[in-house]
Structure 1
């Protein structure tokens, strides 16, 4: 929401808004000249032309209810962003995971190529000058957007290039079934404008099937992945240094080296998607790969939080079993001879219930696992789902269920020893526990 607010304000629209609680994002918006309140009140929408809401805003929200009663135009976040796409070539990045990183990589490559795209990404982008917000109104004719499939709102976009990193079932609380989830991605591909291109990861069975179906309907497709039969192939992926990797990219007869400053095969695939997009927008393969090498990461994606008592602490947004598995695969070479410890906070009762065994299997790749209470987000309390829902499915002794998150942080700190890598993992407020763990480690060291 803050990204859309920034982009609208940058276009000269008078923007004001409210959030449930204070935080750094609100401070940044105020510094940018926007009017922002803490707390929701009906008076905030008096006299406005349009109210923009996210999927997290319920109908009984005082501002939304007042807007409905007054007949004020109400747009979903994605509809406001789609309006900003008018008159630009647009890139919409979708998939159950990898959206934020891939979108940020596309923006980084295009900026390095001098195209100065507008972008709307659901997270901060790390640069050599420090983190920057995920929204930027560029001077170029390209808009890059992270397209959220969680509530079907990605179907509001009609992009020039649609990227699908994977079609792995998630958000079944919204879709109801795997088939409905997959049909939504077919509909997303169908919304790509005539003459546009679907960029799909052939390593993912769902995205590969989507690419084949889109071709059958006459759509243009560019596939990427590690298989020999893709259009843009990733090969020879090896770790490079503490947090990087090396690989080669083949596009037809053209080949180039890819040197990334972020770890993991999943990031090599994300980079391949971004490079593919850049080539479709006229950037050469080698130049695009070089631009990907400037990418330093996004907020909450393998985000280093500090080191104390010889223990490194990294935060990550992974909240789906496949994301957790990819994170741990990337973390293992980073840890070197040390152990990998995980403090995991499940996100949503419905997801935890549906994928409990898959979470248990993915977390099994860590040396020590502490699972804390479920972060409910938009859902009501479900007393039948908690930390033990995951831990009970792990081999005996491999995991600990600690409902209180501060107590869980203390347990992880007590388990850690010099040389270990500690990961705080999840899409909720587990991100706040890195400093807590570091403080506990620091006290022990003192």
Structure 2
């Protein structure tokens, strides 16, 4: 494998993705020549182009400048989401060019800085973003690769120097095993990606393999996990939130650490899961050596992550919350948060299932999680990288929910173009749009439609 310092040109296949675009921006910042392909124009790809990175949107090997095809000085990076028979990828391989997965590039970069990594089935994006914000605001020279858009900063890439690397350690395709972490946190290990892993036991073993990359004194784990390391939690642990209260939707708490109690911490994100994420981020930062009082100030100003309990509308007439939740455990966490914020009010959810395999593997769990809401509307399954699976549909999930003993008042399937009409007809003030597909776009469309009405 070529060393990064010998490579002058990097070509990204899938450059507009949340993980790929951050890497492209980092390399461009380091003075490398960067170009790439993506299937569609996105806000991320537009920003890359504005920064001087050349991107094209058709599968056309001949459009790629020759400098990016030189074996000695160029490197091709691709995302696992790209099909193996994608034309440009095939042509590069036929020409003898080495190709590298995004995770391998991250792994190489992680060897060049002190690496702080956050893993977990749920919460890793928010925890990584909190950690990056904490270090940035505490004057640490940090480079952060985020799996979401950090609100306030409007970016998935944050850089004030290269002493420390903060990275989301992704379990998909066993990517996180490529990293060389110095300190790591693990939020959760609920089974997912069974299309890759096959079964829950294999999935969990991979997390144990990741934990094995670290010493027990440099691994921080959620209090509920069966791993050896420093425990972090809401109820017990080496790091623990105590004296937790909620005032006007804001968490106030004291943080117990192995050395002291940090009093009067504030977190403005709703949900106990986010409080747990914040404690883990604080713990990793403290273990790295950041001043605890600086961290307390920084936590109070954390702005949130795009599509993680994001308020699109928050008025007396209507509340519209947009969230990335696409796993039953995440839906449960969102329900806990919205119930804590709005006790006693009806709650309507519009959910877009993500992947046929995930819907199949967790059909019963999805039904139970969604049944907690008062009214449920299901969009068609977002296929992402998959082809349809016979019999696995949103209509089947709808039937499963309706058959439960405590079924919601309303459970229906809807088309995207009918979302506004359905919500208006229901007359429910608290509305949530959940899913990891393109449902986030629908929340923005709703805002415009209501403004035009």
Normalising by the residue count of structure 1, what TM-score does the alignment of the two structures yield?
0.90
State the SS of the aligned residue for 1:184: helix
Residue 190 (structure 2) pairs with residue 181 (structure 1): no
> 1 CA distance for matches of 2:147 and 2:158?
12
Match of 2:417? 406
Stretch deviating more after TM superposition (175-184 or 137-146): 137-146
Q: Deviations over 1:107-164 (max 9, x none)?
A: 011111110310000111012xxx4211133314100000110211111001001211
State the SS of the aligned residue for 2:251: strand
Match of 1:154? 176
> 2 CA distance for matches of 1:246 and 1:175?
39
Asked if the contact 2:59/2:87 (under 8 Å) is kept, the reply is yes
Asked if the contact 2:398/2:413 (under 8 Å) is kept, the reply is no
Q: Deviations over 1:380-428 (max 9, x none)?
A: 11241111232222245544332522223431232134xx121110000
State the SS of the aligned residue for 2:184: strand
Unaligned runs of 5+ in 2: 1-19, 69-73
Residue 97 (structure 2) pairs with residue 72 (structure 1): yes
Asked if the contact 1:201/1:225 (under 8 Å) is kept, the reply is yes
> 1 CA distance for matches of 2:315 and 2:133?
32
State the SS of the aligned residue for 2:436: coil
> 1 CA distance for matches of 2:22 and 2:102?
10
Asked if the contact 1:413/1:441 (under 8 Å) is kept, the reply is no
Stretch deviating more after TM superposition (4-13 or 382-391): 382-391
State the SS of the aligned residue for 1:52: strand
> 2 CA distance for matches of 1:397 and 1:178?
30
State the SS of the aligned residue for 1:384: coil
Shift of 1:55: 1.2
Task: Tell me: CA distance 1:116–1:365, structure 2 relative to 1, closer, same or farther (3 Å).
Answer: farther
State the SS of the aligned residue for 1:152: helix
Task: Tell me: CA distance 1:108–1:402, structure 2 relative to 1, closer, same or farther (3 Å).
Answer: same
Task: Tell me: CA distance 1:330–1:397, structure 2 relative to 1, closer, same or farther (3 Å).
Answer: closer
State the SS of the aligned residue for 2:32: coil
Match of 2:24? 5
Task: Tell me: CA distance 1:406–1:329, structure 2 relative to 1, closer, same or farther (3 Å).
Answer: same
Match of 2:145? 120
Match of 2:361? 354
Match of 1:345? 352
Shift of 1:235: 2.6
Residue 444 (structure 2) pairs with residue 435 (structure 1): yes
Match of 2:11? none
2:213 maps to which of 173, 183, 191: 191
Stretch deviating more after TM superposition (55-64 or 96-105): 55-64
Shift of 1:106: 0.4
Asked if the contact 1:416/1:422 (under 8 Å) is kept, the reply is no
Asked if the contact 2:116/2:165 (under 8 Å) is kept, the reply is yes
Match of 1:31? 50
State the SS of the aligned residue for 1:8: helix
2:194 maps to which of 143, 164, 172: 172
> 2 CA distance for matches of 1:398 and 1:50?
55
Match of 2:125? 100
Residue 295 (structure 2) pairs with residue 295 (structure 1): no
Asked if the contact 1:159/1:196 (under 8 Å) is kept, the reply is no
Q: Deviations over 1:267-326 (max 9, x none)?
A: 111001100111111123333233222211111111121357811211100001111110
Asked if the contact 2:376/2:408 (under 8 Å) is kept, the reply is no
1:226-305 matched pairs, under 5 angstroms: 226-228=234-236, 230-242=237-249, 244-256=250-262, 257-305=264-312
> 2 CA distance for matches of 1:188 and 1:122?
19
Asked if the contact 1:93/1:102 (under 8 Å) is kept, the reply is yes
1:200 maps to which of 221, 242, 248: 221
Stretch deviating more after TM superposition (337-346 or 24-33): 337-346
Match of 1:17? 36
